[in-house]
Amino acid sequence: QLYFVCVCNMKSTSVALTHKVGKHLDLSSMEKSEISKNLYGQIQWEEILRSGVFLQHRDHQLLEKSQVSLDVVIDNSTDSKELSSMLIKIAENCTSNLTVQQYAFTRIEEILGIGMDLSSADADAFGLKHAHLFTTDGIHLMDNCFVRALLSSDIYLQRSASLGFACLLTVCEGNIGSLINWILSKLQNTSNGVWDMALPALSMLTRSQSSRRKLVDAGVVSHVVVILRRLGANGNAQQIYELCFILWAMSLGAAVANNGNNSNSNSMASADADVKAFLSAGAVQTLVDLLVSPPTRKVSRMIISALRNLSVTENDDVLSEMLASGLLKQMDSIQASNMLKQFNDQEVETDFKSLYEVLMKNFRELSTFERWATEVKSGNLRWGILHTEKFWKENAKFVDADNFSLLKSLIALTQSPDTAIACVALFDVGEFTRFYPNGRALVSKMGGKDAIMPMLTHKDDEIQRQALQCISKIMVTNWEFLR
């Protein structure tokens, strides 16, 4: 079921490409079959020969036959293996011919059923049952050409190769590290048309449990959350949906490990790692913020299901984060507005009920300090009543718990690449030094002063301002008289 959702998502985003080949061929608005047909017509096949790929008369016949009816070719075990091997051979050898490269990887996508409307086709006729065609032994992929194509300067080729590669890696063994590194390099780029290029391949990879584990370990959750924050509720609705879909898929491990029938220690350890990744990325607060004003109903569905998956772990930190973020209040609002019935989706209603029951069972009024501690542990600091002079006057005395572990985390957050988080952390460190007995000496002893001093010349004006105030509080006893 997850596979079909991914494939449909790939189709919806494929039209965003704008790439031209030759003088007239525009790939931005074509179906895969139309793209391959046009590319096939542009290829000068004598150039294939010069690249060292010797095509016999039967090979040309098979290519022509596949252009007329691909499903007939791939349903024949001999023809399908010959066609797949030929495409890999062409992709590996004709590296200087962009049109040939685009054609080969587009055809691979078609053989795997990517971009097809599977609601009106026989799903068994396409897709993953053909993945073995691109292996040496039914397991290990012939993936050198995919890895090379990821380095191409051509947007269409990168996207086509990454998507086919991701699909194959969900059931076969190959160089998944290269694909994950490519995905990370795109997600870290803030330019539109770059970071979103990785979403189809990333969505496809999340189908596989082992791939999800590798994605979590690589820090993908954090990157997705950063992008969601940057987009906000008013961002592109389709992009927000795809990002929420990815978070939902990556939360599945936690849900499966805690379904009551799984006592596997490895699964539980993996689920704990998933939960920690979501907490450290600030994913819970980000999802709750989006739930308050979601751009579409399908985004709400993804958020509710993802939060439900995390909640069934009954992890204290997760539940505290959910309660502190105001999730229960938002769920009460959803119930009161009759929004659940508007979804007309039994699965969403079940997930909503499950999430609500877990929250109610664990509900308690969190003290302001507990809420602050939850924020620090999540690493997702944000301005509010937890970061004021009044708060620190009342709560500085509680920071000494667990050998000042929260203070150590707070000092580390001053170095966050996120400007808002760094600024809030700087403010809190400064306020702690004011209101905790001997706080200035403690912060200096823990390396806070040395870590913050270089930030006085930070390129960001707001960070520079907060760093200056923080250092002043550390160094001056009666700082308030300087204000």
pLDDT tens digits, one per residue of 348-375: 999 999 999 999 888 776 678 988 998 8
Higher pLDDT, 17 or 479: 479
| Residue 72 one-letter amino acid | V
| Residue 221 one-letter amino acid | V
Rounded to whole angstroms, the Cα distance separating 209 from 399 reads: 39
Using the Cα atoms of residue 242, residue 244, residue 250 and residue 254 in order, give the sign of their dihedral. negative
Rounded to whole angstroms, the Cα distance separating 141 from 169 reads: 8
**How many other CB atoms are there within 10 angstroms of residue 180's CB atom?**
23
Which of 256-265, 325-334, 431-440 is modeled with the greatest confidence?
431-440
Q: What is the pLDDT of residues 129-174, one digit of tens each?
A: 889 999 999 899 999 999 999 999 999 999 999 999 999 999 999 9
Contacting residues for 31 by C-beta, under 8 A, at least 6 apart: 115
Q: In a 10 Å sphere around its CB, with 0-12 CB exposed, 13-18 middle and 19+ buried, how is residue 364 labelled?
A: exposed
**What DSSP string describes 443-462?**
HHHTTHHHHHGGGGG-SSHH
pLDDT at 310: 94
pLDDT at 410: 96
Residue 148 backbone dihedrals phi, psi, to 5 degrees: -65, -40
Least confident of 221-230, 258-267, 415-424, 443-452: 258-267
Quote the radius of gyration of the chain (alpha carbons, Å): 27
pLDDT band, very low/low/confident/very high, at 14 (cuts 50, 70, 90): very low
Residue 407 backbone dihedrals phi, psi, to 5 degrees: -65, -40
Rounded to whole angstroms, the Cα distance separating 76 from 216 reads: 39
Say what the pTM is: 0.76
Instruction: Calculate mean pLDDT across residues 277-296.
Output: 89
Question: In this prediction, what percent of the chain has a pLDDT beyond 70?
Answer: 87
pLDDT band, very low/low/confident/very high, at 8 (cuts 50, 70, 90): very low
With both helix axes pointing from N to C terminus, report the angle between 176-187 and 209-217 in degrees, rounded to the nearest 10: 50
- Per-residue tokens: 230: 């940057």
Q: What is the pLDDT of residues 302-351, one digit of tens each?
A: 999 999 999 998 888 888 888 888 898 899 999 888 888 888 888 999 99
Instruction: Calculate mean pLDDT across residues 254-266.
Output: 62
Rounded to whole angstroms, the Cα distance separating 199 from 243 reads: 8
Residue 25 backbone dihedrals phi, psi, to 5 degrees: -85, 115
Average per-residue pLDDT for the chain: 85
Contacting residues for 159 by C-beta, under 8 A, at least 6 apart: 17, 197, 200, 201
**What DSSP string describes 151-213?**
T-S-HHHHHHHHHHHHHHHTTSBS-HHHHHHHHHHHHT--STTTGGGGHHHHHHHTTSHHHHH
- Assign 388 to helix, strand or coil: coil
Instruction: Calculate mean pLDDT across residues 437-466.
Output: 93
- Assign 84 to helix, strand or coil: helix
pLDDT band, very low/low/confident/very high, at 25 (cuts 50, 70, 90): low
pLDDT at 455: 95
| Residue 289 one-letter amino acid | D
- Assign 234 to helix, strand or coil: coil
**What DSSP string describes 304-356?**
HHHHHHHHTT--HHHHHHHHHTTHHHHHHHHHHTTHHHHH--HHHHHHHHHHH
Least confident of 190-194, 431-435, 446-450: 190-194
